[in-house]
Chain A
Amino acid sequence: MRLSVIGWELPPIFSGGLGVHTINIFSIINKMIDVTVYVPDIEGLSDEYPFNVKKIKFNTENLNKYINNQSKKSENKNYYNIYPYYNNLKIKNINFNNFDFKDFNEMIYYYNKSVIECFDRNTDVIHCHDWITFDAGVELKEKYGVPLVITVHSTEIDRSGNFFPQKYIMDIEKKGIKNADKIIAVSDYTKNMIIDNYDADKDKITVVYNGIDSDFIDTAYKDYNLHKNILYFGRVTTQKGPKFFLEAAEKVIKYFPDVKFIIAGTGDLINDMKVLAKELKIENNVIFTGFISLNNKIKYFKDADVFVLPAVSEPFGISVIEAMGMGIPTVISNTTGVGEALYNVFKCDFYDTDLMAEYIIGLLKHQGLRETMGANGQIEARKFTWNNAAIKTMGVYKSIFEGVKHE
């Protein structure tokens, strides 16, 4: 079997969720079948990957044609820059020939067209990841009659925190979901999300959980002495609910005046959060770290007493199992997908900052609680492996052909 994966990013340049997922899962799948991954050709990609990589160059001549078409389509459209979610390729640094795209959507449109042009039809399955690759997948399926699998890592509704989702993107997502032969959702939460909001056929959907990187498991034993650090780690966007983190912080600080609340990450809400911290008069307790590299990430995790993810809508939430993998007690919102498979965490509604604060206070007060939840959480996080994810994904590919046999 030959598999063509249409991707968006690969480490080391980006460490976004999609890149991490792609390299982990397809390096394992490539041991079983031939895998080719398509990604934009940008500076900083490695020369070698544990699977074939086709780096897609942008062809200037065609670019004009596509962009003209595309611009008409997206005219008068409200545009919100909520896409730090996907790595918004910094156009000047890459081989996109200095083209100045009007917006992120236009860049995606062009990337998809380029993939179609360069596509090697000698393949048995196409596997696309999120709306940024769905157009190419759907068109290639029609053109060559190759079955299409899509993975929904997130939806426009999640990314916007259901706050002005872009119809243009939702339409692409709907098209992908409608045309795919099989759909992989990263949680039951996402499965239900696409059934309810995108009319997905539930029989096409398989849930495959993400795995955890060994970096977060092979660390030294967690000490449960009180460090008085509460950690938020992730993009500072509406989707992740940093506002609720600060609202809970205000309530915790009444009990523990010297606890630090660390917002580690960047995003479009960062200035709003700085303003909010001042308004709540807790600016001396809140630390904004800016972007954190992987090495520093582990350090921040180690020094944390509690990890909090108050996401408004999080399809999976890989940082939750990373934190747990390091033995950190964790508080998450009920709208965090991975929570459905977790027992050793505290869960509350993202807006219920009273309860969120109560959980944090409880963890700060009781070392026995920190130790028990931390140690059990560590064991629980280990059940999320990339091997399991890869094997389950292989099962989805196989099911396409088994289906054909029975017909």
Chain B
Amino acid sequence: MSDNVLFYFEVHQPKRLRLYRLNEINKNHDYFWNEKNKEIFLRISNDSYIKTTKLLMENNIEASFSISGTVIEQALEYNTKVIDAFDDYFRSGLGELLDETYYHSLSSIFDKDEFIEQIKQHRNLMKKTFNIEPESFRNTELIYNDGISETVKSLGYKNIITEGTDDIIKYYNPNYLYKSTSNLNLLLRNYKLSDDISFRFSNHAWNEFPLTADKYASWIKKTPGDFINLFMDYETFGEHQKESTGIFQFLKYLPLEFKKNDIKFIKINGAKKFKNHGIISVKDAISWADTDRNLNPWIGNEMQKEAFNKLISLKNNKNKKLWRYLQTSDNLYYLSTGKPEDMEVHNYFNPYKSPYNAFLSYMNILDDFDYNYFG
């Protein structure tokens, strides 16, 4: 019987790179798709970020957040009300803020020093923006293994979150508190109950459709464990699930239904009071993405590997900030051809329509970067 729910939301928008043609190499060093970034950011900040944050506040819903550096930058450029809304929310005491890499990058899997540098940059940004020093950490797309948790521990964090993959939950109920091999508090995403909201909420073909707050509360209640980790994209509210699906009504009624069932909201830091159910070791990197829950969405196919190796090879460059934008994981995600069952999700997120076009464009940019900023 679970009496607690832990909401964690990922707030991330990349600074997308535009389609960059072959004949621009060495002539044009402007890589960003400003028009598209602005359009998407304005839409999402209005339809999702601001609206949802206000709703959480009005209804006393506690939640934990990570906000990437590329989101803060775009908010400062396009819509500062996003920052105001989060700031109000954190000041109210309802919210907890996590750290991640500033650039929402894959640095954790290729360069420890780079990884640490980007975490520090994020830490400074959170301090500067919200005057908060997070104690909890989440890596890009919940990419995790023992090595990553060691590095995170060495930076002074107390808690880390990752996916409750099938391999893990075979042995460990995701609704309990665990320890990493590095002795951090380790929380596991309950993917079934998370995806019920983030993926299936508006799916008419789902046999549980429509999902109502009282039904959902009853599922939580009867699930064994101490707390249920509901981790998802923040854009679930108002963007992936549009307002017309009733997602906001659902969210609004959750506290009422939870109250009836005596279910409480907790934050990541609040999970440490629960009993530790043992140490979990994860050797090969896992993530919360796709059906495989590994690194395949970013470096799964040969073209992604080629692009990733090229990106890494450019480390000794004269424009670190630009190189780090190029590291944002979305750039590699757009090159994914995935498994057929994941294609729908990939196409949804791919502004270039085809992973092959995205690849050529990205490689052209890396070539230009190579000629102009390398060495």
Contact = CB atoms under 8 A, between A and B. Distances in A.
Interface of A: 343-344, 346, 354, 358-359, 361-362, 365-369, 371-373, 375-376
Contacts of A346: 354, 356-357
A106 B51 CA distance: 73
Contacts of A376: 337
A354 B21 CA distance: 10
B360 A368 contact: no
B360 A362 contact: yes
12 contacts: A343-B354, A346-B357, A358-B22, A359-B360, A366-B303, A367-B306, A368-B301, A368-B304, A372-B301, A372-B337, A372-B355, A375-B302
Contacts of B306: 366-369
B264 interface: no
A369 B305 contact: no
Nearest to B360: A362
Contact of A368 (B23, B305, B354, B357): B305
A219 B305 CA distance: 27
Interface in B340-375: 354-357, 359-360, 363
A344 B336 CA distance: 12
Interface of B is mostly: helix
Given A358-B22, A362-B359, A372-B302, 19 more contacts: A343-B354, A344-B337, A346-B354, A346-B356, A346-B357, A362-B360, A366-B306, A367-B306, A368-B302, A368-B306, A368-B307, A369-B303, A369-B359, A371-B302, A371-B303, A372-B301, A372-B303, A372-B337, A373-B356
Interface string B16-41: 00000111000000000000000000
A362 B363 contact: yes
Nearest to A357: B22
B304 to A, nearest CB: 8
Given A344-B337, A358-B21, A362-B22, A368 B356 contact: no
Contacts, number: 52
**Chain B CB within 10 Å, residue with most, of A354, A369, A371, A376:** A369
Interface string B294-323: 000000011111110000000000000000
A367 B305 CA distance: 11
B337 A369 contact: no
A369 B337 CA distance: 11
A376 B346 CA distance: 15
A400 B357 CA distance: 44
Nearest to B347: A343
B302 A367 contact: yes
Nearest to B335: A372
A346 B357 CA distance: 8
Q: Which 4 A-B pairs have the closest CB atoms?
A: A368-B306, A371-B302, A368-B303, A368-B302
A352 B52 CA distance: 46
A306 to B, nearest CB: 12
Nearest to B357: A346
Contact of B363 (A344, A366, A373): A366
Which one of A343, A346, A368, A375 has the greatest number of beta carbons of chain B within 10 Å? A368
A237 B286 CA distance: 53
A368 B22 CA distance: 17
A355 to B, nearest CB: 8
B356 A358 contact: no
Nearest to B355: A372
Nearest to B21: A358
B360 A369 contact: yes
Contacts of B305: 368
Contacts of B357: 346
Contacts of A343: 354
A376 B306 CA distance: 17
Contacts of A375: 302
A320 to B, nearest CB: 15
A361 B21 CA distance: 12
A375 B360 CA distance: 17
A375 B357 CA distance: 17
A358 B21 CA distance: 8
A228 to B, nearest CB: 19
B22 A369 contact: no
Interface in B269-314: 301-307
